[in-house]
A and B are shown apart, each in its own frame.
Chain A
Amino acid sequence: MDIFLQALFLILDPYVLGVMFLAALFGLFVGAIPGLTATMATALLIPFTFFMDPVPAIAAIVTTVAMAIFAGDIPGALLRIPGTPASAAYCDEAFAMTQRGEAEKALGTGLVCAVIGGVMGAIVLSVAAPSLAEFAIQFSSFEYFWLACLGLSCAVVISTSSTVKGFVSLLIGLFIATIGIDVTAGYPRFNFGNVELMAGVSFIPAMIGMFAVSEVLRYVASTHTPLPMPQQKIGNVFRGLGPILSRYKVNIARGGAIGAIVGVLPGAGADIAAWIAYAVSKKTSKQPEKFGTGHVEGLADAGTANNAGLAGAWVPAIVFGIPGDSITAIVIGVLYMKGMNPGPTVFMNNPQLIYAVFIAFFVANLALLFLGFVAIRMSRQMLRIPRKILMPIILMFCIVGAFAINNTVFGVTIMLVLGVLAYIMEENGFPIAPAILGIVLGGMLEHNFVSSMIKADGDFLGFFSRPIAATLGVFVIIVWLIPLISLMRRRLRAAVSTA
């Protein structure tokens, strides 16, 4: 209880609340502008969090992301352009409602479901993380090796249609992680004599490049027609929501559960949670024929799921240091910078900081109810700001952000190289998330692999010598077999249909 009060005081500090308020405005704005994603918002935010104490830094990220994921619904409903990928699953549905003159209903449902989902995710996080941490305290390098493998494998299997391309992306990430002084012998690898690369590829410029610069490049490369203006006037979005919420309470609960679970899985974040929740909603609905015509049911499921997924992704990030999605991959970098090294021990060394993070989730999601309402009212003004003005400004902030971490222009070079790389990869169907996870987890994977090999005296069976390690190992191998099994099933079905 004492720790809880300490954590509460950490959050209720006027400075922290002020930071959270500014972060909320930033998140709502970025989320509502198509082409600017929640991950980009996080990447742009880190240079600022770099200069803050741990609690305001983390609270700022939590708030920004929660706001951005909801705000992505606004242009989705009004213009049929999702503001962030997490709103893409039900964007057509929401727009169909708008065309019927039900924009208020679509946005109101989205907002309230986002708040409920966010709170559900926060509950799952605050219950699951501490109990998992107690369990994780017994883990040795064997278990951590398998956990890192599991995280990376899930990222490849879940996040993409082409497993080969996902794997390439992962390997690129792992390769980037090997640059610099290695963990076994202290030998500088792949730095070609460059002193600034000795410490490795600086993480934050890399993230800004991969998520923000690549997005600017994508904007410039697209034939940019200005956004159409939303026509509807939007009044009170909360009107008439009561019956909808009580009618679809099962959907909302289910969406929250799906979101939290998908969020916990490494490599799958809010966007995948929304797609899965929407598909489940359609499959189990009593009126599946109404889906796609402006039916509010799928919105309730998926709108809850994406916000619930955000908090879920923090569970493996805090307990094991394994990110649940791209956003928490960035967060892990920030945690290390702030000396809150993720892992079960953080619950013993700095419990008040962790509980402050949990409280930040509740505060941010409850504040979303009011701030989201304001954002909807102001959506016409926000969408009027031309992106041709925004993009150069964003690029300038990227440059300064990448510079500010080590105060050298080498950060800008890293940002440029990885930004172009990420742009080319995405254009050709190579997902970015596995590469990010590779960069974050590469060092941990290699370190645990090498120390395990030394402990086991080079015997690979040693990786299965402890019960939890063996279970995790078998689990990883099953995940590896999933693409093979689905390939074989496809071949078999093709053979049957030709025969």
Chain B
Amino acid sequence: MRLNDAVPGVFLILFALAEMAYTTTFPATFGQQIGPDLFPRLIGVGLLGCGVLLVISGLGTREQVPLVTLGDWATDSRAFFNFLLVPVALLFYILASDWLGFIISSLIILLTLLYRFGVSLLTSLAVAVGTTIVIQFVFASVLLVPLPWGLFQPVVW
């Protein structure tokens, strides 16, 4: 997805204004001019300036560069779905891993992604199971990372 420079420009201006407004809630340090708000404010001023420059340059190229150019993936519904699948998979892990546990979440994510990317069902299953076992062994057993057991908790303990 390619954007005309004006689009990120406008976004940066809005972000910088919101950020600078928020810094006014920071407490002042007693007896000093330099507080926790100074640096964020300088960053805000910089972002504001850059945002304005981007809007100007973006408007200059408006004839050649449309506001939004969608990539190949957006026109092809299958590719579009696959593209969304990556952040959705991460969101799924964030929300569900504690309850389902690592093993089940990992199997679901890997199986879905592999199959959707065009790998045959049998290979997908083999790769998903293999990868999950390797990660569970290396991280949980060797490196002692407490990967969540989730639904397996009563079985394991």
| Cβ B50 vs Cβ A187 within 8 A | no
- CB pair B26–A221 under 8 Å, yes or no, is no
A220 adjacent to B29 (CB under 8 Å): no
Is the pair A393, B110 in contact by a Cβ cutoff of 8 Å? Answer: yes
User: When the two chains form their complex, are residues A400 and B145 in contact, meaning their CB atoms are under 8 A apart?
Assistant: yes
Assess whether A164 is in contact with B54, with CB atoms less than 8 Å apart.
yes
- Is B131 at the interface (CB under 8 A from chain A)? yes
Chain B residues 79-114 with CB under 8 Å of chain A are 79, 82-83, 85-87, 89-91, 93-94, 97-98, 102, 106, 109-110, 113-114
Knowing A404-B145, A458-B33, the reply to whether A216 touches B1 (Cβ < 8 A) is: no
Residues of B within 8 A of A419 (CB): 90
Write the chain A residue with the least CB distance to B23. Answer: A189
The residue from B50, B53, B98, B110 contacting A392, defined by CB atoms under 8 A apart:
B110
Q: DSSP class of A's interface residues: helix, strand, loop or mixed?
A: helix
A272 within 8 A of B: no
B2 proximity list for chain A (CB < 8 A): 427-428
**Is A190 close to B, CB under 8 A?**
yes
A404 to B144, CA, bound (A): 9
Digitize B53-85: 1 where CB-to-A-CB distance is under 8 Å, 0 elsewhere. 110010000000000000111001001001101
B127-153 residues with Cβ-Cβ distance < 8 A to A are 127, 131-132, 135, 139, 143-147
Complex formed: what's the CA distance from A48 to B76 in Å? 38
> Is the CB of A238 closer than 8 A to any CB of chain B?
no
Write the nearest CB–CB distance from A137 to chain B, whole angstroms.
27
How near does chain B come to A287, taking the closest CB pair, in angstroms? 39
**A409/B94 in contact, CB under 8 A:** yes
Contact of A409 among B40, B93, B123 (CB under 8 A): B93
Tell me the complex Cα distance, A262–B76, Å: 42
Contact present for B119 and A175 (CB under 8 Å): no
Q: Which of B29, B35, B39, B93 contacts A449 (CB 8 A)?
A: B39
On whether the beta carbons of A220 and B98 are closer than 8 Å, the reply is no
B147 touches A400 (CB 8 A): yes
**B114 to A187, Cβ gap below 8 A?**
no
Q: How far is the CA of A420 from the CA of B86 in the complex (A)?
A: 10
Q: Does the CB pair A420–B40 fall under 8 Å?
A: no
Among A34-42, A177-185, A193-201, A278-286, the stretch in contact with B: A177-185
Which residues does chain A contribute within 8 Å of B122, judged by CB atoms? none
Q: Is the CB of A392 within 8 A of B40?
A: no
From A175, A409, A424, A453, B97 is in contact (CB under 8 Å) with A409
User: A175 CA to B146 CA in the complex, in Å?
Assistant: 32
Does B110 contact A396, Cβ atoms closer than 8 Å?
A: yes
Provide the residues of chain A in CB contact with B135, threshold 8 Å.
396-397, 400
A: interface residue count bin: 35 or more
Interface of B, helix, strand, loop or mixed by DSSP: helix
Closest to A405 in B: B145
B155 is an interface residue with CB less than 8 A from chain A = no
Is there a chain B Cβ closer than 8 Å to A51's Cβ? yes
Minimum Cβ distance to chain B for residue A201 (Å): 14
Which of B3, B12, B71, B127 has a CB less than 8 Å from the CB of A221? Answer: B71
Cα distance A444–B92 in the bound complex, in angstroms: 36
Please tell me if the beta carbons of B47 and A171 are within 8 angstroms of each other in the complex: yes
The answer to whether B156 has its CB under 8 Å from any CB of chain A is: no
For A454, what are the chain B residues with a Cβ–Cβ distance below 8 Å?
32, 34
In the complex formed, the residue of B with least CB distance to A166 is: B50
* B27 cross-chain contacts in A, Cβ below 8 A: 185, 187
Residues of A within 8 A of B85 (CB): 220
Among A221, A386, A397, A454, residue most surrounded by chain B Cβ atoms (within 10 Å):
A221
Chain B residues with Cβ under 8 A from A399's Cβ?
90, 93, 106, 109
Question: Does A222 sit within 8 A of B, measured CB to CB?
Answer: yes
Asked whether any CB of chain A lies closer than 8 Å to the CB of B17, the reply is no
- Report the stretch among A244-252, A293-301, A410-418 that lies at the interface: A410-418
Residues on the A chain within 8 Å of B143, using CB: 48, 51, 404
Indicate if the CB atoms of B26 and A187 lie closer than 8 Å: yes
B83 and A396 contacting across the interface, CB-CB below 8 Å: no
Task: Tell whether A382 is near chain B: CB-to-CB under 8 Å.
Answer: no
Cβ-defined contact, B83 with A221, below 8 A: yes
CB distance from B138 to the nearest CB of A (A): 8
In the complex, what residues of A have CB within 8 A of residue B117's CB? 220, 388-389, 391-392
Residues of A within 8 A of B23 (CB): 189
Q: B34 near A420 (CB under 8 angstroms)?
A: no
Check A407–B110 contact: CB distance below 8 A.
Answer: no
The contact string, 1 if C-beta is below 8 Å from chain B, for chain A 462-499, is 00000000000000000000000000000000000000
A55-92 residues with Cβ-Cβ distance < 8 A to B are none
A172 to B15: give the CA distance in the assembly, Å. 11
CA distance A184 to B35 in the complex (A): 6
Known: A388-B119, A392-B113, A412-B94. 18 other contacts (CB 8 A): A51-B143, A164-B53, A171-B43, A172-B47, A175-B43, A190-B40, A217-B87, A391-B117, A392-B117, A395-B90, A399-B106, A400-B145, A409-B93, A409-B97, A409-B98, A415-B90, A430-B8, A454-B34
Task: State the A residues within 8 Å of B (CB).
Answer: 47-48, 51, 164-165, 167-168, 171-172, 174-175, 178, 182, 184-185, 187, 189-190, 213, 216-217, 220-223, 386, 388-389, 391-393, 395-397, 399-400, 403-404, 407, 409, 412-413, 415-416, 419-420, 424, 427-428, 430, 446, 449-450, 453-454, 458
- List, sorted by A's number, 7 A–B pairs whose CB atoms are closer than 8 Å: A220-B83, A221-B79, A223-B76, A395-B89, A396-B131, A404-B145, A407-B146
Q: Could you tell me which B residues sit within 8 Å of A by CB distance?
A: 1-3, 5, 8, 12, 19, 22-23, 26-27, 29, 32-36, 38-40, 43, 46-47, 50, 53-54, 57, 71-73, 76, 79, 82-83, 85-87, 89-91, 93-94, 97-98, 102, 106, 109-110, 113-114, 117-119, 123, 127, 131-132, 135, 139, 143-147
